[in-house]
A and B are shown apart, each in its own frame.
Chain A
Amino acid sequence: VPAPGPRTRARLTHLWETPEDLRGWLGTVDHKKLGKRYLMTAFAFLLVGGIEAVLIRLQLARADQTLFTAEQYNQIFTLHGVTMIFWYAQPILTGFGVYLIPLMIGARDLAYPRLNAFGYWTFLLSGLFLYASPFLGQSPHAGWFAYVPYSTGKFSPGLGLDFYALSLIFLTISTTSGAVNFIVTILRHRAPGMAISKMPLFMYSSLTVSVSVIFSLPPLTAACTFLLLDRQWSFRFYDTLYGGSTVLWQHLFWFFGHPWVYIIFLPATGMISMLLPVFARRPIVGYPWVAAATVLTGVVGFAVWVHHMFAVGITHLGMSFFSAASMTISVFTAVQVFSWVATLWKGRLVLTSSMLFALGFLALLVVGGLNGIVTAVIPVDWQLHDTHFVVAHLHYVLVGANVFPVFAGFYFWLPKVTGRLMNERLGKLSFWAMFIGFNLTFFPMHILGALGMPRRIFTYSQSQGWETLNLVASVGAGVLTLGVLLSVINFLWSVKKGARAGENPWNADGLEWSASSPPEPYGSVHLPAVQTRYPLWDDHDEEHDPRHERILDGGRYTFTTSALDARPWAIAEMPAASLAPVVGALVLTAVFAGLLAKNLWVAGGALLLALATNAYWAWPKVRKVPEPPLEPEHHEEDKRNPLVTELDPGRGKWGMGCLIATEAMLFVALFFAYFYLGPFPTEKAPKLHLVLPMLGVLLLSSGVLHYGERQVKKHADRRARAALAVTLLLGLVFVALQVVEFRNKLQELTPQMNAYGSIIYTITSFHAAHLLVGLLMLGFVLVLPRLHAAEKPPHHPYKSAALYWHFVDVVWVFIVTFLYILPNLHK
């Protein structure tokens, strides 16, 4: 059979390319285009945050400086921290992932392309939402962690902290959607043969942080929601006079915050594990250990949050546990460092700009790791807490382990993205300026911290003896900025005038280097099959596909493979460009603007529009496989024998599983808050006479829906629909009972009365909101055209909606047990 020629390429291009008009630009779902947008937008945020950093250093360069007032300085360092940590450090890695993951694993796109587009637009709009605050003179000013009580309405009036809380909640939607996409893509769409023992290490880090995102972001959402409710609606979560707790914020924030450190660090280490062996000209030493250490960092990362709170006043035993976990986690980073060093030791080094940035990362990571261990020792931490030592530590970790790998990644992968090589001389100059500038800026801060200079002070007096070191740090910031600008110039120059890169300019091993530079809209003509960890180094022949098993040009198709061994299982059909994601993101912006203005009509109206957009998005479209531009002739070239022929009907199920996991974590955070704020003085234990029947109604509804699921499997369309209708009816009965329960309860307790009222109403309202979403899902499935259309049963929307409904019911079981039955037992 002859190799496929121009006709196959033209057909694939026609299937996968996005129209070059405004509609195409707004509606594109191409991971390469969206990846580039992520990278550019996040880099723009890096530049904005960098300008803020320069302003901070200008203010601190000399004693008694008066460039800014204390309030202005607070706003600048808050925006700097928030921008760098939330809108640069993680999204830039998402950008690399969005662009590279499908190419690295041999898929044609991410699992959910429209969700990917939605994630990008929400990321962009949430950032613009935050940056509307300085233009309104209402910037947040309480640091990137916004500790209460300073951030509550009493001490920080105005809209600044509302902007903070709302923009973070907005951003979590983008981050979570990205994580879901990565998890499902990596687990279900790897090239045939790419078992978990052969995945690129970047996949391990991306998968680990995506799972971490799913479980770490809900506590942040809970904390920010509590803050907003306290500030705007006079709830009492953080008001100690009414039974609230200020430490609750710290627990929730750092339960998110420490895994977040790994979320912005691990993908960067994954990038280093990909590019360092290429420039050491040998496979990485200890692949299995590096992969396992990456996963374990994600796991243990959830058990170290209290080390940010050693100065708060925790039990000694509790502190010891968290200190031990903090020491344990250093083992995993050490394993990775030793593996990189061994790879360098046994390799033949090629000192490109990318490699220099990788080596710089290694040096800075070791310093950042070691001074991190210093602060994990409790008595030392008590001395150094809230001093510039901590500023030095966090910048060694975050800049050293994020910015340097990101620049290494830019110099390594941009030739693939743009098709042009960057200038090596300028790249090396940029590296040295950044490396020297960085150390000049942040190393003196260790000494300043040991001398007692606190963080977050806007000026200091000459008599304190901190001026020289601060001046050195400020000069260093200038050198660092120069280094960054040299790379920006290099990039702009190379896009126009750089030498052509070719497919594989570095003689690298990964699958992404088998595509053209820049890649075609469809990636490779033949979806690759993988035999080894280093396909391009180990006699890889992607074109060896004599039966044309891996071309898949009958539609926008890619393979679905099994999670562990990547055995081909089905064909996944990918959606084409759509305006629904950008419209959905815009409507969500209106929801958040309404909440900011406390205008519930605007917020509610926009929410309804968002639901309508969602329904349009999910409504099954008639599959229009576009006609190929050239009529297929009866020619050998057009013979296809795909590895698998079945269409994958259940891709949404995995996404729904991830959604339920993150929602479950949200309720765990809410229950944690309930128990943390308790025990409550319960003179009157909550009444059970309504909630127990409500429990019965929900359990019955789950039973009926389960019966319906079984009928779907049996193709009993009518009975399945009837079960769905009965479930809906029971759900509505529950809503009616919930309204009565609220009305009764409000007679004796309001959310503003005390922390107990606040948490009780918040938990039950969150559940009610989830229940309404569940009802909408069931209603949507009920009106879907056919229960089992062309796909084979079971009908997957039915299954997904049922899964969500069962989850909502299980949550109610916990609510009744914790909030109603337990207080009655203690009566």
Chain B
Amino acid sequence: MTRSPTEVERASGVSRRQLWLGLILPTAAWAGHGMLGTLVALLSCKQFGIAERSAPAFTRPILFGLSLVALGVVVFSVVSSLRILRRITGSSQPVGQQGHQREEFMAMAAVFFSVTFAFGIALNAVPVLVLANVCEGTR
């Protein structure tokens, strides 16, 4: 028996805003991390690092800090999306019918978004840790 969207929302206590947030938050964290990281690196390297061709001392910590903040956001998103998914589905879902209700579908997508963007942000953070000079190549 399929339930209407409002019935599902009422039963689970999950609002539409929460469902959207699960999709938007990790995406914004990943995009923001990439853009801010690039901007910080470009600005600080051009302003301070170009003359001696070495990175200013604060560039790497700022970039690393940005990665930590972004990772924190997506980890929060992973946890909250999983909670929301559990609240919506309960434990009685028949196998093969996952994500059939729109709310459950959005919650599952939110888990997927959060996990993959956590992976993406972690990958982005690796070069900051391993590059000898984060300003190398700045012109």
Residues of A participating in the B interface, judged by any CB pair closer than 8 Å: 195-198, 283, 287-289, 291-293, 295-296, 299-300, 303, 313-321, 324-325, 327-328, 331-332, 531-533, 564-565
Contact = CB atoms under 8 A, between A and B. Distances in A.
B127 to A, nearest CB: 3
A677 to B, nearest CB: 14
Contacts of A564: 5, 102
Contact of A197 (B34, B42, B99, B126): B99
Nearest to B127: A320
Nearest to A566: B102
- Chain B interface mostly helix, strand, loop or mixed? helix
A197 B119 contact: no
Interface string B29-62: 0010010011001100100000000000000000
A320 B45 CA distance: 16
Contact of A288 (B2, B31, B109): B109
13 contacts: A196-B106, A197-B106, A283-B96, A288-B109, A293-B112, A315-B135, A315-B138, A317-B128, A317-B137, A318-B38, A319-B137, A321-B34, A325-B124
B113 A317 contact: no
Nearest to B116: A331
Contact of B123 (A195, A198, A318, A327): A327
A309 to B, nearest CB: 12
| Interface-central residue, A293, A318, A332, by most chain B CB under 10 Å | A318
Contact of B116 (A296, A321, A533): A296
B22 to A, nearest CB: 11
A672 to B, nearest CB: 12
B109 A291 contact: yes
A288 B120 contact: no
B12 interface: no
Interface in B89-139: 96, 98-102, 104-106, 108-109, 112-113, 116, 119-120, 123-124, 126-128, 131, 133-139
A325 B27 CA distance: 13
Using C-beta atoms within 8 Å of the partner chain, give the interface range for chain B: 35 or more
Given A197-B104, A324-B127, A328-B119, A314 B137 contact: yes
Contacts of B101: 195, 197
B123 A324 contact: yes
B30 to A, nearest CB: 8
B2 A324 contact: no
A205 to B, nearest CB: 15
Given A313-B139, A315-B135, A320-B131, A197 B102 contact: yes
B136 A315 contact: yes
Given A196-B105, A316-B133, A321-B38, 5 more contacts: A197-B101, A296-B112, A317-B37, A321-B34, A321-B127
| Interface-central residue, B41, B127, B136, by most chain A CB under 10 Å | B127
A303 B31 contact: yes
Contacts of B45: 315
Given A313-B139, A325-B124, A197 B116 contact: no
B100 A197 contact: yes
Q: Report, nearest first, the 6 A-B pairs whose CB atoms are least far apart.
A: A320-B127, A197-B105, A288-B99, A324-B123, A328-B120, A195-B102
Contacts of B127: 316-317, 320-321, 324
B5 A565 contact: yes
Contacts of B113: 292, 296
A324 B37 CA distance: 13
B102 A331 contact: no
A557 B106 CA distance: 31
B120 A325 contact: yes
A332 B116 contact: yes
Nearest to B125: A324
A196 B105 CA distance: 8
A325 B100 CA distance: 31
A318 B101 CA distance: 41
A87 to B, nearest CB: 32
Contact of B136 (A283, A295, A316, A532): A316
Contact of A292 (B42, B109, B123, B137): B109
A663 B108 CA distance: 33
Interface string B57-81: 0000001000000000000000000
Contacts of B112: 288-289, 292-293, 296
A288 B128 contact: no
| Interface-central residue, B45, B124, B134, by most chain A CB under 10 Å | B124
Contacts of B5: 195, 564-565
Nearest to B20: A564
A440 B37 CA distance: 44
Nearest to B5: A565
A572 B38 CA distance: 46
Contact of A317 (B104, B134, B139): B134
B116 A315 contact: no
Contacts of B123: 324-325, 327-328
A318 B41 contact: yes
Contacts of B131: 316-317, 320
Contacts of A295: 109
Contacts of A331: 116, 119
| Interface-central residue, B98, B99, B131, by most chain A CB under 10 Å | B99
A223 to B, nearest CB: 21
Contacts of B139: 313, 315
